[in-house]
Structure 1
Amino acid sequence: MIYAAAGASGFAAIAETFWVRESLGLSPQALLALAAWMTVPWTLKMVFGHLVDTVPILGSRRRAYILFGATAQAAAYLALAAAAARMTGPFATEAVYVAASLLAVLGLVVQDCVADALTTEVVDRTAPDGTPREPAVVQAELGDVQVLGRVALMGGAFAVAGLGGLAAQRMPVATVFLLGAMAPMLSVFAALLLREDGAAPHATVRERPDPRILGGGAAFAAVLLALGILDPPFAPEIGLAVSLGVIGWLLRRTMAGVPARTQVAMAAAATVIFAFRAAPPPGPALQWWQMDVLGYDQGFFGVLAQIGTGLAIAGSLVLGGRIVRAPLGRVLGWLAVLGAVLSLPTIGMLFGLHEWTAVQFGFGARTIGLADTVLSAPLAQLGMIPMLTLIAVHAPPGRQATWFALVASLMNLALQAGNVISRGLNAAFPVERGDYATLPALVIAATALGLVLALGAIALLGRWIRPAIVTPGAPILASEAEERSEARLRP
């Protein structure tokens, strides 16, 4: 239900895109910089995950955090509605938009930490008689849970995609934002239904807060906040470098108790996924061109979103089980190549393909856009399923949210890296509102660079990626003294 609520939170996305373009004075470069900062709460996910694991609120390590996240998300949409209605008082509309966007992301991150922890808790690591279950069976079940989680997320998006486009076309933006504030209510219902005591196999395991994670995370957040406020030259790039350093150090500490072979597999997998997800997007200029030149309106964007999400759900259900059991490097290599190939219709339309097809065959931009969505949508979520399974396999009892959040933070850093690269590409190929002469070069450069990053990482590290199961009950996050003590007790 939490994943479904997260998917449904995109209800107002189309209305927001048009409102930002028409009412806010933010350039494509400014929006890309903002997108980079919006990934910061996801980068700090390991801190929130550690709080979920170790710091109960009124005795609750799950329900209270869900309610906090849902409240923050609903408040953010109410603030966006006020900004759209020009009811922000002395505060600038752009400032309210940025603050509300950050608050919405924070609410999503906290809820996601809880949901991630629950996906690892619902699979038994031991049989009823206390003996460890077969690692292959545990991995397969964890993979199935991740597939269902992706389906729930996309199911929420599918349920609101068409409605979101229709609402954006027919309702005031402020009203759409008010309706968007209803999506977190699904998480509230989930919190009310959740049983925390004894409901999960590992729910009884308790850990103490680790000051290295909480203190380091707080210092990390302070540095990123200072960069955002002071805005020195190359602030996003500096933030990315600091983030990579901190996450790398925490990962090294986290994996200290893991066998060397597993460490190599996890490090290789993380690097390949990072490169795969760091593919730079073209930026908002491409969507603006679709609005201005191709004539895509809110309703059509909603149709594309609903078709794409529906086919992504089908692709996950049909292929998810096979993806989980296939070599990760091979899967991501094929996905990278197919993604680049399926971007060719969009690149073709930048050079007038839709005009030629309209004359020769009687169909134009919208038909090409629909066909491209149908072909590419099933690939949308498949790349995440193997990595999520690999993360879940290694989740230690009592620290599920911390472990999941820490490795996932690295994956979210990849998106920040992609936005930083995209910002550089937009500076090299500047696109102004209404002037799209350099847009073809920008899209081609972004597509080619994304393909090179993914295939290069796979060629170098793909052979090292081998899933492995951590010994049931063996803690991964521990102090050096605890690690030595546990080493003496391990068979």
Structure 2
Amino acid sequence: MTATADSQRIKQFLEKRLLLGRPLTTELTAILLVYFVQGILGLARLAVSFFLKDDLGLTPAAVAALTGVASLPWTIKPLFGFLSDGLPIFGYRRRPYLILSGLTGTAAWLVLATLAHTAWLAIAMLLLSSLSVAVSDVIVDSLVVERARQESQGEAGTLQSLSWGAAAVGGLLTAYLGGLLLEHTSTRVVFAVTAIFPLIISVVAWLIAEEPVQEKSNVQSVWHQVKQLKTAFSQRAIWMPALFLFLWQSTPSADSAFFFFTTNDLGFAPEFLGRVRLVTSLAALIGIAIFQRFLKTVPFRTIFAWSTVLACLGGMTTLILVTHTNRSLGIDDQWFSLGDSAILTVMGQIAFMPVLVLSARLCPKGVEATLFALLMSISNLA
């Protein structure tokens, strides 16, 4: 009796403090675990950068081009949403796709750990691993959208906050570990360890509550999905926010060049870069907490306006590090990098949370995965 009462108290504590008032169900656990695994897969992020730079000897331009190719699945996410919404497998629209995505991810990382000795094979496997995460992301996003539609105004964004919080926790647990492993092992060992985690997605997929659909995978069903999507996207309330997302995210990125700069010019070691990722993971959690606690009732237009202004100012701080102005101010390169990354991540996470909530609200029933994926792909493409 006492054990039962204690377990009930623990459950109530988890629901109130960690789950933001949502009941702890098997399905919610499965959904959060998928996001958690997406965060954990960041374990290999540094290893991939060092693998392309040092093991394969690629230039910054080549790394930027090939990683751009590897990220293509994130720009065609609507296709995966379309397949999930319109082409059920064995009568189910979500579960089979999650299982297949997990198996695909594990296979890709195992090949990277053992057989990838050329740039083209490496990029092909990175493309496959990216495809795996993108598909699972589309499916779990659609599950969140379907359930977020039932939230009241006061609860708006709670499920999105939990989902991104789970991903941030996963990233937090492996952020420093990724750099530390590179200090003591090889990139291929990191890839082999990473291969374990996508299997979790395949396992928890069986915990998703899903009713079998009656329609079969036929031309009529697919065409019906196309018409629903066309109708939804012809509405001004949908295409205007989509246009804003595209313009807002259309800023050039120098990630590959900046990685070469920090490792070659500044001499940042893998262990320190792991510390930077640890700080940014913590900062992402702080950003989510700030939005959930103080900003979820603030009009999104206000948040977007201030975020745009602050992002313009914050984005220029990188020039301080590149020009070594921080040294003339008496600020060490590493300390400046840590502080700058933390501040920019908090700002970015606060700005992105309304995007998720707004996108979920815009999705009509029947094309949840497709339309939400389309809105996210617009952001990724930009």
Q: Secondary structure at the match of 1:381?
A: helix
CA contact (8 A) 1:154 1:309 kept: yes
Residue in structure 2 matched with residue 196 of structure 1 by the alignment:
210
Residue in structure 2 matched with residue 342 of structure 1 by the alignment:
314
TM-score (norm 2): 0.83
Bigger helix fraction: 2
Residue in structure 1 matched with residue 37 of structure 2 by the alignment:
5
Q: Secondary structure at the match of 2:350?
A: coil
Q: 2-side partners of 1:193 and 1:405: how far apart?
A: 23
Question: Percent identity among equivalent residues?
Answer: 28
For structure 2, the 5+ residue unaligned runs are 1-32
CA contact (8 A) 1:144 1:321 kept: no
What does 1:39-438 correspond to in 2, within 5 Å?
A: 39-82=71-114, 87-88=115-116, 93-123=118-148, 125=150, 138-197=152-211, 254=229, 256=231, 263-320=235-292, 322-358=294-330, 363-414=331-382
- TM-aligned CA deviation for residue 147 of structure 1: 1.5
- TM-aligned CA deviation for residue 174 of structure 1: 0.9
For structure 1, the 5+ residue unaligned runs are 126-136, 198-203, 218-249, 415-491
CA contact (8 A) 1:314 1:378 kept: yes
Per-residue CA deviations over 1:210-235 (Å, capped at 9, x if unaligned) read: 859969x9xxxxxxxxxxxxxxxxxx
Call closer, same or farther: CA 1:344–1:384 in 2, change over 3 Å. closer
Say which is worse superposed, 99-108 or 29-38, in terms of deviation. 29-38
Give the aligned CA root-mean-square deviation in angstroms. Answer: 2.7
Q: 2-side partners of 1:397 and 1:170: how far apart?
A: 50
Call closer, same or farther: CA 1:51–1:344 in 2, change over 3 Å. closer
Per-residue CA deviations over 1:303-357 (Å, capped at 9, x if unaligned) read: 1111111121121122235544333333223223323323444312222224324
Per-residue CA deviations over 1:375-409 (Å, capped at 9, x if unaligned) read: 22212322222122122113233332122222222
Call closer, same or farther: CA 1:26–1:206 in 2, change over 3 Å. farther
Per-residue CA deviations over 1:65-107 (Å, capped at 9, x if unaligned) read: 111001111111111112xxxx45xxx6101111101101111
Say which is worse superposed, 170-179 or 51-60, in terms of deviation. 51-60
Call closer, same or farther: CA 1:209–1:326 in 2, change over 3 Å. farther
Q: 2-side partners of 1:26 and 1:139: how far apart?
A: 50
Q: 1-side partners of 2:148 and 2:329: how far apart?
A: 52
Call closer, same or farther: CA 1:406–1:184 in 2, change over 3 Å. same
Q: Secondary structure at the match of 1:182?
A: coil
Q: 1-side partners of 2:142 and 2:314: how far apart?
A: 35
Q: 2-side partners of 1:394 and 1:354: how far apart?
A: 44
Partner of residue 27 from structure 1, selected from 51, 56, 59: 59
CA contact (8 A) 1:47 1:213 kept: no
CA contact (8 A) 1:12 1:177 kept: yes
Call closer, same or farther: CA 1:289–1:212 in 2, change over 3 Å. farther
CA contact (8 A) 1:50 1:209 kept: no
Which one has the largest radius of gyration? 1
TM-score (norm 1): 0.65
CA contact (8 A) 1:7 1:157 kept: yes
Q: Secondary structure at the match of 1:380?
A: helix
What letter corresponds to residue 256 of structure 1 in structure 2? T
- TM-aligned CA deviation for residue 142 of structure 1: 4.5
Q: 2-side partners of 1:346 and 1:212: how far apart?
A: 52
Q: Secondary structure at the match of 2:161?
A: helix
Per-residue CA deviations over 1:399-452 (Å, capped at 9, x if unaligned) read: 3212222222222221xxxxxxxxxxxxxxxxxxxxxxxxxxxxxxxxxxxxxx
CA contact (8 A) 2:156 2:357 kept: yes
